[in-house]
């Protein structure tokens, strides 16, 4: 899902994650675009949006559960709802061709040593739900980078060993990987993309320690073209794991 311009979706939706849209009084009708996580239940494929809506449609029945797509959709009260278990999903109209959101799974391994890591131009704060259900334990990142035509970018996520960290503190490193043969004479161009990262290995590892319910405090570092050392995102992110003792 590579874009030439910086893709504004994440920064816009970060302000509205799990919040209802401002709707006209007396009407729930809406039209919007969002990344949608596909899930299944009661024999139906349905979607969970970054704006906190549960939606479904005839078109979505051909989509693969466990994946993410970006598309525009709309709903009118006349469309009604379909029950997914005890949850009412809005019967929406999909108004654009769905775009696949790339997917990867984080690794518990230490990041490999490289002499010259590929550099991000920028990396967004992650969008995620602090449970393993709403987005299937995935975190979404938007990132920008430079590449030549013929090259492709991918993302790898590792857990960094840090002896000075407390038991509930985790440092992750996000690596940009540029591969492929650039076309002759191709110049560097700015691109941006979004990726969904499956964080379930992190949850599984810490829940396997059987220390009860607790909050992991997660920091994220990455290589930016403006720095020779890894930079950290500004915030610390909370991931609640385990069950009550």
Range of the domain at 195: 103-241
* Inside any domain, residue 27: yes
Instruction: Please report the pLDDT score of residue 86 as a whole number.
Output: 94
4 belongs to a structural domain = no
Whether the pLDDT of residue 25 is over 70: the answer is no
**207-222 mean pLDDT:** 93
Which pair of structure tokens corresponds to residue 140? 């979404």
State what percent of residues in the chain have pLDDT above 90: 77
Angstrom distances, CA of residue 99 to CA of 5, 21, 64, 70, 156 = 16, 23, 13, 5, 21
Rounded Cα gap, residues 64 and 55, in angstroms = 15
Residues 229 and 145 in one domain: yes
* Same domain? 108 vs 189: yes
The per-residue pLDDT of the chain, averaged, comes to 88
pLDDT value, residue 111:
95
Share of the chain above pLDDT 70, in %: 88
CATH code for the domain of 188 = 2.60.40.2370
pLDDT at 166: 84
Residue 6 has pLDDT above 70, yes or no: no
Question: 46 and 40 in contact (C-beta within 8 Å)?
Answer: yes
Look at residue 161 in the predicted model and tell me its pLDDT: 87
In this prediction, residue 122 carries a pLDDT of 95
> pLDDT at residue 72 above 50?
yes
d(CA 202, CA 183): 38
Does some domain include residue 218?
A: yes
Task: Among 35, 70, 100, give the residue marking a domain's end.
Answer: 100
Tell me the CA distances in angstroms from 12 to 76, 205, 210, one per residue in order: 23, 33, 38
Q: What is the pLDDT of residue 227?
A: 85
Whether 33 and 88 share a structural domain: yes
Please identify, among 77, 100, 123, the residue that sits at the C-terminal boundary of a domain.
100
- Statement: residue 224 has pLDDT above 80: yes
Q: Assign 130 a pLDDT band (cuts: 50, 70, 90).
A: very high
- pTM for the model: 0.87
Q: How far is CA 47 from CA 58, 80, 113, 193, in A?
A: 12, 16, 39, 21
Q: How many helices (H) and strands (E) does the chain have?
A: 2, 17
Per-residue pLDDT at 17 exceeds 50: no
């Amino acid at each position: 899902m590579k874009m030439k311009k910086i893709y504004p979706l994440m920064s816009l939706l970060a302000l509205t994650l799990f919040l209802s849209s401002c709707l006209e009084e007396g009407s729930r009708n809406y039209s919007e675009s969002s990344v949608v996580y596909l899930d299944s239940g009661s024999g139906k494929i349905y979607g969970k949006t970054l704006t906190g809506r549960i939606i479904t449609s005839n078109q979505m029945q051909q989509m693969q559960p466990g994946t993410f797509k970006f598309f525009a959709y709309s709903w009118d009260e006349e469309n009604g709802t379909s029950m997914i278990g005890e949850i009412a999903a809005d019967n929406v109209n999909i108004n654009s061709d769905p775009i696949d959101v790339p997917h990867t799974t984080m690794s518990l391994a230490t990041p490999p040593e490289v002499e010259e890591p590929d550099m991000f131009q920028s990396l967004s704060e992650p969008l995620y739900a602090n449970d393993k259900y709403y987005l299937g334990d995935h975190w979404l990142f938007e990132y920008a980078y430079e590449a030549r035509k013929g090259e492709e970018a991918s993302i790898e996520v590792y857990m960094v060993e840090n002896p000075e960290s407390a038991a509930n503190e985790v440092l992750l490193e996000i690596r940009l990987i540029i591969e492929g043969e650039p076309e002759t004479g191709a110049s560097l161009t700015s691109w941006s993309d979004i990726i969904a990262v499956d964080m379930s290995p992190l949850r599984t590892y810490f829940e396997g320690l059987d220390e009860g319910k607790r909050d992991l405090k997660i920091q994220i570092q990455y290589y930016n073209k403006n720095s020779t050392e890894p930079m950290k995102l500004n915030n610390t992110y909370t991931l609640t794991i385990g069950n009550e003792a």
